[in-house]
Chains A and B, each alone.
Chain A
Amino acid sequence: MTTLILKTAATYLMPLILLFSVFMLLRGHYLPGGGFIGGLIASIALVVYGYANRIDRIKQFIRFHPGILIPLGVSFSAMAAILPLFFNQPLMTGLWLSGSYPIIGNIGTALLFDIGVYFVVVGATLTVIFSIAEENMKN
């Protein structure tokens, strides 16, 4: 399924959708959005690019096996839960940096947790899609 229109569109769409996914990620916590939906959008971006070109292109593009994103994401999310323990607070207490930053807003453990979820979702989705695609290629 490599048509010229899709191929050209995908080249422009991928960075846009990726950017949008980051926007969704940062928007989370108080507004609709967050790590899960952001991660799904990011994987859609990569998958669209992959199908428009070839699935190996996407592998060249990200350079590492997406499976590694899963433990990475889980450790980010776990950090968000564990960090308060170092400040003598109960598990999963929300810690926030004082002050607000442009675009990102308040930074706290909730953001760290969302980033973790984002990575896990991207990693898991891409791993599944890659294995299915490889099965198809073998047949």
Chain B
Amino acid sequence: MTDNLLILPVIIQLVIAVVSLFFWSRTSYQRISSIIGNVIFLAVSFILFFHVKENGIMVSQGGDWQAPFGITFVLDLFSASMLVITGLSGLAVSIFTAGSMSRRRALFVFFPIYHFLLLGISGSFIAGDLFNLYVWFELIIIASFGLITLGGGRRQLEGALKYVTLNLVASTLFLTSIAFVYGLTGSLNLADLAVKIPEVENQDLVSIAALLFFVGLGIKTAVFPMYFWLPASYHTPMSAISAIFGGLLTKVGVYALIRVFSLFFLPDSFAGTVISAIAALTLIMGAMGAFIQKDVRKVFSWLIVCHIGFMIAGLGIFSTVALAGAVFYLFHDIIIKTNIFMVSGLLYRINGAHTFKFIGGLYEHYPKLSFLIAIPLFSLIGIPPLSGFWPKILLIEGGIQGFDYFIVGAILLGSFVTLVTIGKLWITAVWSEQKSVNYVKHFIHFTQLSKIQRFAYVFPIALLSVVSLFFGFGAFWMLDIANRIAEELMNPDLYIQSILQTQ
């Protein structure tokens, strides 16, 4: 396999998007092409992943312009595994939407925009160039603007407005930081920057650029103190869209933060403390926010904020163990957050509402379904041996090794509040008695759906639950991968060499 083929996942998404654009008003073809396309995407990502795992980093220079002048595409183990995880989440959401979305909504070109979103996400994982990374981010946010306003209710537009405004501000800061970096070093290639940034005389300016970068991406990632846009907007669009947003969008920011801060904006002891403190505050604020909510999707939105803290904490502690924890948590979190938002969609289909006031009686009427949603919910808490448990162990171990007891406390507190919140949700939704179904206009109850539609509701949840179970029970294998990624991140020499040697 030649290295140039690492671009294939991006191309597959592009092709699906274009194909579904051709079927403008034939939504059933769009649904089918979306599912088939994402199956192919997943298969190709797996092949690339195993290839990278065996043979090391793949590098392709876009347009055959050599690094550091051209656009470099890189696929190392970290990005390859992110592609696989994206493929899994993307496929689940594809099936979920293909079954659940009404034709009326699908006519607002949902599927093309969705695949452009996945195009941007997979692109940002293979970007080996800071500006290229920015371009993929722009593609992501433009597509997400389209998705979040899709259908356009009043409440939805209100959420979208906050989302758009904050993201535009974040992009501006991000771009400013890139301009700083370019002004200081004359290069934007990630590997080249890793060589040139330590040689810059004025390290204070580098710190400023790093800070701007952290703030810009921090807003997109929803870390303290700029997290408030997320719970204000993520509960407004339909569940399938929330699922892909909650699962992937903020995590792309985390990916970029980990990549950049381990490669050239190396956190010194002060920056490390700042990042740790921000992570701890994110954990605490997110947990407190989730604790008081009385709406399923708002609880989940706040938990996204809370759990971002875990990954940022790994970055703040900055040791191999902690980074392995952060990376493992990232994998787990993408799968689980996508899954719980689909669960919220399923609960809505059964109860007709998202608020605690109306939901209940799941165990009474659908015992099998309650066992199914137990998997993602309990993995989210991190009950051993489910998937949330292992990365937290690594993070806590890293924190204790680094004598960072404050962050360890915050991690424990975050996990504990998650436990209480999810416990409350579990009691309300599953164990309490069935309340009357809240029939709103155009509401179709789960029992009124056709067999295929019901399958499309349940199968993706089951699929991602199996993945979660694998993370939990195959933790040995996953830890191996996470450790290798963390070692590559801590010692980026190989990454730098593989990009620059082709000169």
Contacts and interface: CB of A to CB of B under 8 A. Distances in A.
Interface of A: 67-68, 70-71, 74-75, 78, 81-82, 84-85, 88-94
Interface string B1-38: 01011010001001101110110100000000000000
A91 B62 contact: yes
26 contacts: A67-B24, A68-B22, A68-B24, A71-B22, A74-B14, A74-B18, A75-B18, A78-B14, A78-B15, A78-B18, A81-B11, A82-B11, A84-B64, A85-B4, A85-B7, A88-B2, A89-B4, A89-B64, A90-B7, A90-B61, A91-B11, A91-B60, A92-B63, A92-B71, A93-B63, A93-B64
B331 interface: no
Interface string B419-454: 000000000000000000000000000000000000
Nearest to B63: A92
Q: Is the interface of A mostly helix, strand, loop or mixed?
A: helix
Interface in B21-80: 21-22, 24, 60-64, 71, 73
A8 to B, nearest CB: 36
A59 B73 CA distance: 43
B5 A85 contact: yes
Given A78-B14, A78-B15, A85-B7, A90 B63 contact: yes
Interface string B179-210: 00000000000000000000000000000000
Contacts of B19: 71
B4 A88 contact: yes
- B2, B21, B73: residue with the most chain A Cβ atoms closer than 10 Å: B21
Nearest to B71: A92
Contact of B21 (A70, A88, A89): A70
Given A90-B73, A91-B73, 19 more contacts: A67-B24, A71-B18, A71-B22, A74-B14, A78-B14, A78-B18, A85-B7, A88-B2, A89-B64, A90-B4, A90-B60, A90-B61, A91-B4, A91-B62, A91-B63, A92-B63, A92-B71, A93-B63, A93-B64
Nearest to A70: B21
Nearest to A89: B64
